[in-house]
A and B are shown apart, each in its own frame.
Chain A
Amino acid sequence: MISVNLLLAIIGAAFLLPLIWLVDAALNPHASAALTGPAWSLSNFRAALAAGAGGAIKNSLYLAMVSTIVATSVSTIAAFALSRHRVPFKASLLLVILFLAGLPVTLLLIPIFEIYVHLGWLNSPFYTSLVLAATSVPFAIWLLKNFIDQVPRELEEAAAIEGASDLRILWGIVIPLAMPGILVASILTFINSWGAFLIPLVLDANPKDQPGAVGIFQFMSANGVVHFGPLAAYSIIFSAPVVLMYLICSRWLNGGFAFAGGVKG
């Protein structure tokens, strides 16, 4: 028992110490690779913001939000169709989608770049976010299909016989009941897009459009010298929105399914 606890404590420390260092370094104007203890000021945050952290976060937010909205809408409709309608070659189609979910982005990036050159879509945050959305869609479809599968079919039939159209059923019955799944898919897409590095770097060469992940990288290697303090502050600014979102959404996610009472099982 003691050895298990000890092991868990060591694993916990392995995760916690770097975090403590990060917070310490962000607040310490003379930060180094060592933990230095309290001599705290906000000067590192000021330095990070001066280096463009604010703008980069705004860009990240734009990319993540647009791609989340696009990916979630598209995958919800696709998942509904795959879950409920007779689609030819459905099983194979689902396998292809699963395969696509595992495909590394690097493999697609060159052809996408080529296509974007032809379409003249380079250097546009909107079109860049579409690619980010596309990378999340396959996994989101799988996730949402499983959630929608669990919405009892009788509920849709009951709505249909009351005169509801397919769209009305999707909007009024399926989406509210699959909301926990839609939230999970949104969060995953958001985080995926928020941390995206390669796609925005390749598809958008405009320095003004660079998101946080690219910003940190450039900031790290800007002067040949690594300034740990401002870098740590930048990291904290960059991760704050995602952490915040997790905290807010966990309230709904804990709620889980709300099917109770709709149909008697």
Chain B
Amino acid sequence: MANVVLEGVSKYFNGETPAVYDLDLEVEDGEFIVVVGPSGCGKTTTLRMLAGFETPTKGTLRIGGKVMNRIPPKDRNLAMVFQNYALFPHMTIEKNLAFGMKIRRNPRSSIKKEVEEIAGMLGISQLLGRKPGELSGGERQRVALGRALLRQPQVFLLDEPLSNLDAALRAQMRVELKRIHSQYPVTTIYVTHDQVEAMTMADRVALMNGGRLQQIAKPETLYEQPTNIFAASFVGTPKINLLPGKLRRESDGVQLNFLSLTKRLNGSLGEKLSQLPVTEVTVGFRPEDIRLAPQGVDGLHVVSATVELVEPLGSETNVVVRVMDQVITCKLPARTGLSTGDAIRLEFDIPQMKLFDNESTNRLN
């Protein structure tokens, strides 16, 4: 077990655009970190640098306090689960599991014992004599996990391990992976493009985009306090509503206008905003922070809207509405009885509002 530290790590393959740029990341011993981001954001390159398949162009990579930049994969004492499992097709499952232990010259009797133990834990004991080609996707996934666990690594690396499984199996494996991690609390770095995996499994989520780290935070923090527009819109289904807004400086604070609403921002936020040379902003509201305005309430935070689409999900209903020239998605309770074309009134939960600078895209409040 070990901590993992990346300091100013960049990777250029060829040319000017870096695959990973100036990445600072500190993973504590035993922590479960999920690195998440869209395709091409540099998350897999980061993992491959940790594994030793790629060498960082710049920066330092430490595992357990030791600089690993130029140490070959075989000497790093890591285990990795690959997206396509990478089981050895010409070997039985038992030999696949025992491969690493044999290389490390463990005694034969202990290999057999440990392989059987891990196979029992993962429920693949009956498959030991078969070859990978005869296994289903979920079974192969377990074998790949078993092989990695038998390594007893300092750090566990997982590269989109669930992306080839069907939805039900994926949900099941998510739970199982978390269970395994609580049983063997090895430092884990898990790469995925799936925000659900990131939010449900991680101790902390590292969000990447365009080769740069956008935010590293606990799942709740990432959701509640995204650092910028990208972080806000990557996490959450349906996506956060982003609306154009205008700031107007006044003597005792700032006035924010968006849609037909006007909101006075006082206190420290108002003070902070009045210092900034910003007038155009983006106003973000999560779909669940918009609700139907109760009858008769005609407050400052209420707008009129027309229903464009109703998506009943059973426990709740996603409703797409049009407010002036903006399309907004809101998450309303089940059985709203709404249908397309209905005129409704919506209320915004102002304390949950997220305000972003249009230029830097960073969050202002």
Q: For A163, what are the chain B residues with a Cβ–Cβ distance below 8 Å?
A: 74-75, 77, 100, 103-104
Complex Cα spacing A261 to B91, Å: 11
Q: For A160, what are the chain B residues with a Cβ–Cβ distance below 8 Å?
A: 52-53, 72-74
Identify 8 new A-B residue pairs, CB closer than 8 A, beyond the known A152-B86, A262-B133.
A159-B88, A161-B51, A162-B99, A258-B133, A260-B133, A261-B140, A264-B85, A265-B84
Complex Cα spacing A13 to B100, Å: 58
> Which of B52, B84, B104, B151 has the largest count of A CB atoms less than 10 A from its CB?
B84
A161-B73, A261-B131 are known contacts. Are A177 and B100 too (CB-CB below 8 A)?
no
Distance in Å from the Cβ of B127 to the closest Cβ of chain A? 12
Contact B82 A157 (CB under 8 A): yes
B144's nearest neighbour on chain A, judged by CB, is A158
Contact A162 B84 (CB under 8 A): no
> Which of B89, B133, B151 has the largest count of A CB atoms less than 10 A from its CB?
B89
Within 8 A of B (CB), among A127-176: 152, 154-155, 157-165, 168, 172-173, 176
Cross-chain pairs A/B with CB under 8 angstroms, 21 sampled? A154-B82, A154-B86, A158-B147, A160-B52, A160-B74, A161-B51, A161-B73, A161-B74, A161-B79, A162-B74, A162-B79, A162-B151, A163-B74, A163-B104, A165-B74, A261-B131, A261-B140, A262-B85, A263-B87, A264-B85, A264-B164
B76's nearest neighbour on chain A, judged by CB, is A161
B157's nearest neighbour on chain A, judged by CB, is A161
Complex Cα spacing A165 to B72, Å: 10
Q: For B140, what are the chain A residues with a Cβ–Cβ distance below 8 Å?
A: 261, 264
Distance in Å from the Cβ of A223 to the closest Cβ of chain B? 56
Q: For A126, what are the chain B residues with a Cβ–Cβ distance below 8 Å?
A: none
Within 8 A of A (CB), among B31-82: 51-53, 72-80, 82
Contact B84 A158 (CB under 8 A): no
Contact A263 B85 (CB under 8 A): yes
Complex Cα spacing A177 to B87, Å: 12
Contact A173 B53 (CB under 8 A): no
Distance in Å from the Cβ of A5 to the closest Cβ of chain B? 41
Is A40 positioned at the interface, with any CB of B under 8 Å from its CB? Answer: no
A157's nearest neighbour on chain B, judged by CB, is B53
A262's nearest neighbour on chain B, judged by CB, is B89
Identify which of A152, A157, A168, A264 contacts B51 (C-beta below 8 A).
A157
Within 8 A of B (CB), among A84-139: none
Is B137 positioned at the interface, with any CB of A under 8 Å from its CB? Answer: yes
Is B316 positioned at the interface, with any CB of A under 8 Å from its CB? Answer: no
Q: For B335, what are the chain A residues with a Cβ–Cβ distance below 8 Å?
A: none
Within 8 A of B (CB), among A153-208: 154-155, 157-165, 168, 172-173, 176-177
Is B113 positioned at the interface, with any CB of A under 8 Å from its CB? Answer: no
Complex Cα spacing A160 to B51, Å: 10
A157-B53, A168-B103 are known contacts. Are A177 and B80 too (CB-CB below 8 A)?
no
Contact B89 A258 (CB under 8 A): yes
Q: For A157, what are the chain B residues with a Cβ–Cβ distance below 8 Å?
A: 51, 53, 73, 80, 82, 86
Is A252 positioned at the interface, with any CB of B under 8 Å from its CB? Answer: no
Is A259 positioned at the interface, with any CB of B under 8 Å from its CB? Answer: yes
Distance in Å from the Cβ of B102 to the closest Cβ of chain A? 9
Contact A158 B90 (CB under 8 A): no
B90's nearest neighbour on chain A, judged by CB, is A176
Q: For A158, what are the chain B residues with a Cβ–Cβ distance below 8 Å?
A: 80, 82, 86-88, 147
Contact B82 A177 (CB under 8 A): no
Distance in Å from the Cβ of A151 to the closest Cβ of chain B? 10
Distance in Å from the Cβ of B63 to the closest Cβ of chain A? 13
Identify which of B75, B80, B87 contacts A261 (C-beta below 8 A).
B87
Contact B80 A161 (CB under 8 A): yes
Complex Cα spacing A161 to B140, Å: 18
Contact A264 B134 (CB under 8 A): no
Contact A177 B74 (CB under 8 A): no
